[in-house]
Amino acid sequence: MKSCIDCLPCLARNAIDIAKKTDVPDAVRQAIACEAIKDLASSDLSMPPPWYARRIIDTALAKSDGATPDPYGPEKEKSTRLALELLDRLSDIPEWKPDDFESRLRLAVAGNILDFSIYADLDIAAALETVETAFTKPVDRAAVAKLKTRMDAAENILWIFDNCGEAVFDRVFMEPYREKITLAVRGRPAFNDMTRAELEPSGFMAGFARDVIDNETGIPGVILSEAGDAMRKAFAAAELIVAKGQGNFETMNEMTEFPIAFLFLAKCPVVIRTIGAEPRSIQVRLHNI
């Protein structure tokens, strides 16, 4: 999905946000934001938004000169802790059925609904109430049933993570399929997205899945032309790719040769307009399937 003029305010906010999270003097923070926004202003918007997001991240990391290796590290930790606490409270949600595929899928999307990057400091009761909405929103049940059939039949599934916190819920969803799943994370810090460093704290112990790979970049999505050999080989070998979150959708929705199931909450106005969805609706979009 190519960027458009409506992407610029969001990307500019990303630049300001990451500058504020960087542990450097105010003058350097200002330089990070200004350089990133100047770069955006000269862009032709021919690439997906996460491609430009990576440039913003790289600017922050370069100008901070190692002072803050992962500006979103504390946020990731808080998000993961909150999600783990919420798992212990799922029995308080009447609609939660751990043995039901649709119920586990709704939980996997619940992280997007909660939006851990915003709500990581909520008290547990308020957070649980927010997660509960994932179990009452409409969902395309035909797509859910088709996805279950494909996941049951596939022997090689590639799972591409989105945010920390949300990944804790992903683990519950993929548990029955773990022996045939390859986990894919970001190769370098990319906002609050999953990297290898967050796997174990999120409950993905060694041996949980058949393999772990990364995109070898700080892009909060997957652009195969810039990914490493491991990612390209995993795409070619997968019988099914499950991609979480809008960043993965934005970078992968025009791929024609791979079977992809996109699972996300429609939050971005540009994405909502592109797919003709209701704001904050649960999306189970089967692509080339």
Burial of 198 (0-12, 13-18, 19+ CB in 10 A): buried
pTM for the full predicted model: 0.96
What average pLDDT is seen over the chain?
96
pLDDT at 199: 98
Percent of the chain with pLDDT strictly greater than 90: 95
Q: What is the pLDDT of residue 281?
A: 96
Q: What is the pLDDT of residues 197-237, one digit of tens each?
A: 999 999 999 999 999 999 999 999 999 999 999 999 999 99
User: pLDDT by residue (tens digit) across 108-129?
Assistant: 999 989 888 778 788 899 999 9
Average pLDDT over residues 239-245: 98
Token pair for residue 37? 């926004």
Task: Give the model's pLDDT for residue 115.
Answer: 84
User: Of 120-129, 139-148, 165-174, 193-202, which range is least confident?
Assistant: 120-129
Map out the domains of the chain as residue ranges.
5-64, 73-287
Q: At what angle do helices 26-41 and 8-21 cross, to 10 degrees?
A: 160
Cα distance between residue 173 and residue 133, in whole Å: 17
pLDDT per residue as tens digits for the range 34-87: 999 999 999 999 999 999 999 999 999 999 999 999 999 999 999 999 999 999
Could you give the angle at the alpha carbon of 95 between the alpha carbons of 93 and 101, nearest 5°? 120
The pLDDT score that the predictor gives to residue 61 is 96
Fold of 73-287: Rossmann fold (3.40.50)
